[in-house]
């Protein structure tokens, strides 16, 4: 029953909308059906082995002692059988991942479109801290290193640029991240962030440039920024709700799970395309690195992806030195990039196209690559025809 119920729950629970209890009931029906067939086989086998049922006469079977003995034997047999049947619990691993109701909207709108599995999302949410803060609260304190990444879900936050010649009393007015309310007169508004789940997209400060929903996302492409003082205070302009990850933990999960890496990189690329306007070499290189991270996420590079990157380098004046530097930062070489793979296992995978269809991470990353290609085509006046 346990084995059958777990299999039904894992394989058909989501497909047919079955609850865990419904799956357990179907597992019980299936195990009982199998038990009926096995019972007859066991009885006939026992008879062939010379085992008997005691040979009691009908009168003896009606005796109270015989009835009590039969009942006791059944209770002992059922008890031992039930405990023996629970042995699989020692070896079964949960095949079905439960996602909290409050996290379901985040998964369906933000991560599922990029191919993140429910198991990977559950791990991602386990390492995240969900926070809610009121208007005026500080999300990030500027002037000190900030080694976390924030995904704003609801509400709006404003970045206040710290003046280079700020006076000590100005810093005192800013308070700290633990304060409930922070004065907004301590710096000049620079840009804003909008919640990822906000359906209407209305902004309390529409004149400020929107940098999407990820705070400190540029550190993913430029890790050296973690050691620098964060240049802005991030203040809640409205009541906000957000997820917060430690930078090192998030990067480790991105490294281990290609679906998470494709999701985060795609979100960052989309947002950087929207707000990069000054067209500085630093911004162009940072955007190129994020694009390269998405392309290399599955460990392989094909001709269409090389053409895409080459076209981007030409259109945005990315030097060959910057190209090589980005590859080195991502643990790739120019020879591996031209060959199409760094890990020999990826080369072997390419030789079997039939297996490629069942490899979830690869198919998920192809979705991310298609999204990135569409974004780049929107940036170029005459996009190349890529297959």
pLDDT in tens, 12-54: 665 566 777 887 788 788 877 877 777 778 778 877 887 776 7
Helices (H), ranges, the chain: 2-16, 20-48, 58-61, 64-85, 101-106, 118-127, 168-174, 218-221, 247-256, 258-275, 281-296, 303-316, 320-329, 334-339, 344-350, 353-356, 360-379
The structure tokens 């190209």 sit at: 323
The alpha carbon dihedral of 31, 34, 40, 44 has a sign of: negative
Q: What is the pLDDT of residue 354?
A: 42
DSSP state of 50: T
Q: Where in the chain is the domain with CATH 2.60.120.10?
A: 101-251
The enclosing H or E element of 185 equals none
Do residues 208 and 189 touch, judged by C-beta distance below 8 A?
A: yes
Q: How many CB atoms lie within 10 A of CB 262?
A: 28
Helix axes 258-275, 281-296, angle to 10 degrees: 150
Helix axes 258-275, 118-127, angle to 10 degrees: 70
Q: What is the pLDDT of residue 74?
A: 83
* Tokens coding 114: 């990029």
**Which one, of 169, 190, 171, 188, lies nearest residue 179 by Cα?**
171
pLDDT tens across 68-98, in order?
A: 988 888 889 888 888 887 887 777 665 556 6
Contacts 24+ apart (CB under 8 A), 91-95: 92/2, 92/3, 92/6, 95/6, 95/7, 95/9, 95/10
Question: What DSSP string describes 277-316?
Answer: -S--HHHHHHHHHHHHHHHHTTSB--HHHHHHHHHHHHHH
Q: What is the pLDDT of residue 17?
A: 66
DSSP state of 349: H
Q: What is the pLDDT of residue 129?
A: 93
Distances 107 to 10, 114, 123, 128 between C-alpha atoms, Å: 19, 10, 12, 13
Strand partners, 129: 244
pTM summary value: 0.56
Q: What is the pLDDT of residue 205?
A: 66
For each of the chain's 387 residues, which pLDDT tens digit applies?
Answer: 677 777 776 666 655 667 778 877 887 888 778 777 777 787 788 778 877 767 778 888 788 888 898 888 888 988 888 888 788 777 766 555 667 788 888 888 878 776 677 778 888 898 999 999 999 999 999 889 999 999 999 999 999 987 654 444 444 444 444 444 444 445 688 888 989 887 555 566 667 777 888 998 888 877 888 888 998 999 999 999 999 999 999 988 888 877 787 778 777 766 665 555 445 777 778 778 877 887 887 788 888 788 878 887 887 788 899 999 999 988 899 998 988 888 765 555 554 444 443 344 445 445 555 555 554 444 444 444 443
Q: What is the pLDDT of residue 241?
A: 94
User: How far is it, in rounded angstroms, from Cα 287 to Cα 348?
Assistant: 31
User: How far is it, in rounded angstroms, from Cα 55 to Cα 66?
Assistant: 12
Distances 358 to 95, 163, 258, 298, 363 between C-alpha atoms, Å: 18, 54, 15, 14, 8
How many residues appear in the chain?
Answer: 387
Cβ neighbors of 281 (< 8 A, separation 6 or more) are 317
Fold classified for 101-251: Jelly Rolls (2.60.120)
Q: What is the pLDDT of residue 156?
A: 93
Q: What is the pLDDT of residue 149?
A: 93
User: How far is it, in rounded angstroms, from Cα 98 to Cα 123?
Assistant: 11
Q: What is the pLDDT of residue 167?
A: 43
User: How far is it, in rounded angstroms, from Cα 14 to Cα 11?
Assistant: 7
Do residues 161 and 256 touch, judged by C-beta distance below 8 A?
A: no
């Amino acid at each position: 029953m346990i084995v059958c119920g777990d299999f039904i729950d894992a394989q058909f629970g989501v497909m047919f909308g079955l609850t865990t209890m419904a799956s357990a009931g179907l597992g019980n029906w299936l195990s009982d059906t199998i038990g009926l067939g096995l019972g007859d086989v066991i009885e006939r086998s026992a008879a062939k082995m010379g085992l008997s049922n005691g040979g009691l006469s009908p009168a003896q079977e009606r005796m109270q002692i015989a009835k009590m003995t039969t009942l006791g034997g059944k209770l002992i047999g059922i008890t031992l059988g039930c405990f023996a049947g629970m042995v699989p619990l020692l070896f079964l691993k949960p095949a079905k991942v439960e996602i909290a109701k409050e996290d379901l909207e985040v998964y369906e709108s933000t991560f599922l479109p990029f191919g993140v599995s429910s198991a990977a999302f559950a791990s991602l949410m386990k390492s995240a801290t969900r926070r809610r803060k009121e208007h005026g609260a500080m999300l990030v304190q500027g002037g000190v290193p900030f080694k976390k990444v924030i995904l704003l879900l609801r509400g709006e936050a404003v970045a206040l640029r710290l003046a280079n010649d700020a006076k000590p009393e100005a810093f005192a007015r800013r308070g700290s991240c633990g304060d409930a309310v922070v004065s907004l007169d301590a710096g000049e508004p620079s840009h804003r962030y909008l919640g990822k789940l906000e359906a209407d997209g209305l902004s309390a400060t529409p004149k400020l440039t929107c940098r999407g929903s990820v705070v400190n996302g540029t550190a993913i492409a430029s890790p050296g920024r973690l050691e620098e003082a964060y240049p802005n205070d991030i203040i809640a302009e409205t009541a906000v709700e957000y997820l917060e990850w430690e930078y090192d933990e998030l990067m480790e999960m991105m490294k281990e799970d290609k679906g998470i890496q494709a999701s985060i990189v795609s979100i960052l690329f989309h947002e950087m395309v929207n707000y990069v306007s000054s067209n500085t070499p630093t911004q162009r290189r940072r955007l190129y690195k994020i694009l390269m991270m998405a392309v290399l996420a599955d460990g392989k590079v094909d001709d269409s992806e090389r053409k895409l990157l080459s076209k981007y380098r030409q259109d945005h004046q990315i030097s060959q030195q910057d190209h090589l530097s980005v590859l080195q930062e991502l643990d790739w070489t120019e020879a591996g990039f031209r060959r199409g793979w760094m890990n020999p296992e990826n080369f072997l995978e390419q030789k079997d196209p039939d297996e490629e269809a069942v490899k979830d991470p690869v198919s998920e990353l192809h979705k991310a690559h298609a999204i990135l290609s569409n974004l780049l085509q929107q940036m170029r006046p005459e996009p190349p025809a890529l297959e």
